[in-house]
């Protein structure tokens, strides 16, 4: 261990601070000032407070400064978010921070120290809540301020590259969606002369079933003519099973990758359609994910493949726009009805057009796959370096 490391408790760095309590009657679903509850901490806010209340509480009570590290004290214990300084408010004792003057320990160093999960007891028991005394009494090791800056630069550079790749992928996905909308929603796909079909006067015909005009020659078909559903591919793993099977293969759930495990169920390109009604987005459409390669899938998503695999990209975009009919399963849980999904009527363009779209977008998908795989390696490197940098096993030379 680095002999220059010092020890200090978080209580010696600064006081544990939190926002003023906001009552339920003081919140609203209408957008003004985002109010983050523990359930939306680090995600998209669903609740808001008035600007008048925000300004009043901000001026009278504790409020984080830009760069402070917010900590979840309930729910998922120890989750951290660096406060970006934008107007927002946080759920009193459930989301706290150290009011740190950064004279001994920088907030960025604290952020990465928290990633070592120092709140978890060595006996493996589960913490249900972080109390202020738990936070104040936590002993951390820290080097000089100059060394802290070197450590956090290495880790933040890795995180910045990961974030850059994520932004690139979001832009690439938007590009694929834009082309789909232009071709198959606005019907301005390239005609035989390379001109936008509808805008160039392409023939449109009225379809009674859809109550709208569609390009001449396009037909209506049920999804069952285009897709197969492989729910036999879904095998759930408990959290403890995943922890015992750590590996390189993604384990997908309804909302995304939950973990990486050491084995796989199937190969190839598939589409995951979120099954639980609780993950439906605001437009009433399901969350749809594109997957490839060796993968585990849990039982909260349908596994779908186009009958003609080369059309997977087209099917992926189409499914994300369908307001899938939901039915109740049991007393409270909502799930997608597979029968209704397969019988859903859609507009089917000529196959050559679907193929052209899928071919064009495959290059976009390949770039996204490269970025995702690079991010996995970068995250593994960061997580490998993190504890060694924090405890002084690894030092940085000038």
Higher pLDDT, 169 or 328: 169
C-alpha distances (whole Å) from 11 to each of 15, 112, 134, 143 are 6, 18, 10, 18
Q: Which CATH number fits domain 163-368: 2.30.29.30, 1.10.760.10, 3.40.50.720, 3.90.220.20?
A: 3.90.220.20
pLDDT at 330: 46
- Average pLDDT taken over every residue of the chain: 88
Q: What is the CA radius of gyration of the chain?
A: 25
Q: Which CATH architecture has domain 6-142?
A: Alpha-Beta Complex (3.90)
- Contact in structure between 42 and 79 (CB atoms under 8 Å): yes
Confidence of residue 367 (pLDDT cuts 50, 70, 90): very high
* pLDDT for 2 beyond 90: no
Give the tens place of pLDDT for each residue, 95-119. 999 999 999 999 999 999 999 988 8
Round to whole Å and give the CA distance between 313 and 360: 9
pLDDT band per the 50, 70, 90 thresholds, residue 126: low
DSSP code, position 138 = -
CA 191 vs. chain centroid, Å, equals: 38
Query: What average pLDDT does this structure show over 322-339?
Result: 62
Q: β-pairing, 296-297 with 246-253?
A: parallel
Tell me how many degrees the CA angle 36-43-35 measures, rounded to the nearest 5: 15
DSSP string of 182-222, one letter each residue:
IIIIS---B-TTSSBTTTTT--EEEETTTTEEEETT-EEEE
CB half-sphere exposure, 254, CA atoms < 13 A? 15
The token pair at 70 is 């917010």
| 39-93 pLDDT, tens digit each | 899 888 989 999 999 999 999 999 999 999 999 998 888 899 999 999 999 999 9
User: Same CATH topology for 6-142 and 163-368?
Assistant: yes
Look at residue 341 in the predicted model and tell me its pLDDT: 84
- pLDDT (tens digit per residue) in 147-166: 999 999 999 999 999 999 99
The residues that bridge with 266 in the sheet, in sequence order, are 295
pLDDT higher than 50, residue 331: no
Judge whether residue 201 has pLDDT over 50. Answer: yes
- Mean pLDDT in residue range 133-144: 93
Label the pairing between strands 6-9 and 139-142.
Answer: antiparallel
Which residues partner with 8 through β-bridges? 140
CA distance 349 to 357: 11
pLDDT of residue 244: 86
Q: What letter would DSSP give residue 295? A: B
The pLDDT of residue 281 is 53
User: What pLDDT was estimated at residue 327?
Assistant: 46
The interaxial angle of helices 145-180 and 312-319, nearest 10 deg, is: 100
pTM: 0.82
> Do 372 and 169 contact (CB within 8 A), yes or no?
yes
Q: How confident is the model at residue 328 (pLDDT cuts 50, 70, 90)?
A: very low
For the purposes of burial, counting CB atoms within 10 Å of the CB of 60, is it exposed (0-12), middle (13-18) or buried (19 or more)?
Answer: exposed
Q: In what order do the strands lie in the sheet with 288-291?
A: 227-229, 301-306, 270-274, 288-291
On the question of pLDDT at 269 being above 90, the answer is no
User: How is residue 293 annotated by DSSP?
Assistant: S
Q: Name 305's Cβ contacts closer than 8 Å, sequence gap at least 6.
A: 227, 228, 230, 268, 269, 270, 271, 312
Domain locations in the chain as residue ranges: 6-142, 163-368
Per-residue pLDDT tens for 161-196? Answer: 999 999 999 999 999 999 999 999 999 999 999 999
- Please report, rounded to a whole number, the percentage of residues in the chain having pLDDT higher than 90: 59
């Amino acid at each position: 261990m680095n002999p220059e490391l010092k020890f200090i408790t978080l209580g010696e760095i600064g006081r544990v601070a939190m926002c003023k309590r906001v009552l339920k009657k003081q919140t609203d679903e209408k957008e003004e000032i985002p109010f983050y509850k523990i359930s939306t901490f680090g995600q998209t806010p669903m609740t808001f407070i008035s600007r008048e209340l925000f300004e009043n509480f901000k001026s009278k009570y504790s409020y984080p400064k830009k760069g402070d590290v917010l900590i979840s004290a309930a729910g998922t214990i120890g989750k951290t978010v660096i406060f970006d300084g934008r107007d927002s408010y946080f759920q009193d004792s459930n989301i706290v921070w150290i009011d740190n003057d950064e004279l001994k320990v920088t907030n960025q160093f604290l952020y990465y120290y928290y990633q070592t999960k120092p709140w978890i007891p060595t006996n493996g028991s589960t913490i249900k809540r972080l109390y202020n005394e738990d936070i104040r009494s936590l002993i951390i090791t820290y080097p000089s301020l100059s060394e802290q800056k070197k450590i956090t630069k290495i880790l933040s550079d890795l995180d910045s590259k990961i974030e850059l790749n994520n932004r690139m992928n979001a832009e690439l996905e938007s590009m694929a969606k834009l082309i789909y909308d232009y071709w198959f929603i606005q019907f301005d796909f390239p005609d035989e002369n390379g001109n936008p079909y509808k805008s160039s006067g392409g023939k449109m015909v009225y379809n009674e079933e859809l109550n709208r005009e569609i390009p001449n020659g396009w037909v209506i078909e049920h999804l069952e003519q285009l897709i197969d559903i492989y729910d036999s591919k879904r095998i759930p793993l408990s959290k403890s099973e995943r922890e015992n099977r750590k590996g390189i293969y993604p384990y997908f759930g309804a909302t995304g990758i939950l973990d990486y495990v050491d084995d796989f169920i199937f190969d190839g390109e598939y589409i995951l359609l979120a099954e639980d009604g609780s993950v439906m987005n605001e437009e009433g459409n399901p969350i749809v994910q594109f997957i490839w390669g060796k993968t585990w899938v849990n039982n909260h998503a349908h596994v779908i493949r186009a009958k003609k695999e080369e059309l997977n990209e087209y099917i992926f975009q189409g499914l994300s726009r369908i307001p899938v009919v939901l039915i109740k399963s049991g007393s409270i849980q909502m799930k997608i009805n597979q029968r209704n999904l397969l019988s859903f009527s859609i507009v089917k363009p000529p196959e050559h057009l679907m193929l052209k779209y899928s071919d064009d977008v495959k290059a976009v998908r390949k770039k996204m796959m490269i970025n995702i795989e690079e991010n996995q390696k970068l995250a593994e490197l960061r997580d490998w370096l993190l504890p060694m940098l924090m405890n002084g096993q690894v030092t940085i030379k000038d």
